[in-house]
Chains A and B, each alone.
Chain A
Amino acid sequence: GQQLNQSPQSMFIQEGEDVSMNCTSSSIFNTWLWYKQDPGEGPVLLIALYKAGELTSNGRLTAQFGITRKDSFLNISASIPSDVGIYFCAGLPPYSGGGADGLTFGKGTHLIIQP
């Protein structure tokens, strides 16, 4: 099946810094989703992207659907302590089949913020 490579695996940053993470694949995707998971909670949908080249913001978060359709990026500006958590990307390939409508999840980026 499709595989998503999410990087970096973890990030240690200072409060106030900007954060960038990405998700890449050797296959194309029709949709990209970005989730955040707080410790002990379920993932929460942050941003959904539906078209190649699309750039979407949600507060301090900005995500882009790569023009090649094989990648997506998430940026967080001016990080604050509550941004701590695990960020997951998920992609939907063009001809999905099998479980969960073919959504494939990355392994997550752990964000740790030092005050």
Chain B
Amino acid sequence: EADIYQTPRYLVIGTGKKITLECSQTMGHDKMYWYQQDPGMELHLIHYSYGVNSTEKGDLSSESTVSRIRTEHFPLTLESARPSHTSQYLCASTARGTGIEQYFGPGTRLTVT
């Protein structure tokens, strides 16, 4: 079982604010991912990274950006939050090499008012 952490768990913020969602893992996993999920719905990949200084956009277009300066840290930033960004954001990681299983953090529930 991977140790992967997300903060904050819940965030309510006004329109136009800049926010950063934190994701950290302590397993030394190379690969990390961000998913967006509306309550009870399917997962949509929005960003992924294969290692330090590697970031790619996922299948679902997102106005958010990510960075990967350290192996264990993969923050997601929204420069100007809007109500349409209201959702749950899930971070995941996979072991290096041929690892396949993705291990998920607890998620951040974002509400933009």
Contacts and interface: CB of A to CB of B under 8 A. Distances in A.
Interface of A: 1, 31, 33, 35, 40-45, 48, 86, 88, 90, 92, 98-101, 103, 105-108, 110
> Which residue, A33, A90, A105, has most C-beta atoms of chain B within 10 A?
A105
Contact of B106 (A42, A45, A92, A105): A42
Contacts of A86: 40
A23 to B, nearest CB: 13
A101 B103 contact: no
Contacts of A106: 42
A77 to B, nearest CB: 23
Contacts of B59: 1, 98-99
Interface size class, chain B:
20 to 34
A101 B107 contact: no
B43 interface: yes
Contacts of B100: 31, 33, 48, 92, 101, 103
Given A41-B107, A45-B102, 19 more contacts: A31-B100, A33-B101, A40-B107, A40-B109, A42-B90, A43-B104, A45-B101, A88-B42, A92-B100, A98-B59, A99-B33, A99-B48, A100-B33, A100-B45, A101-B31, A101-B100, A105-B42, A108-B42, A110-B40
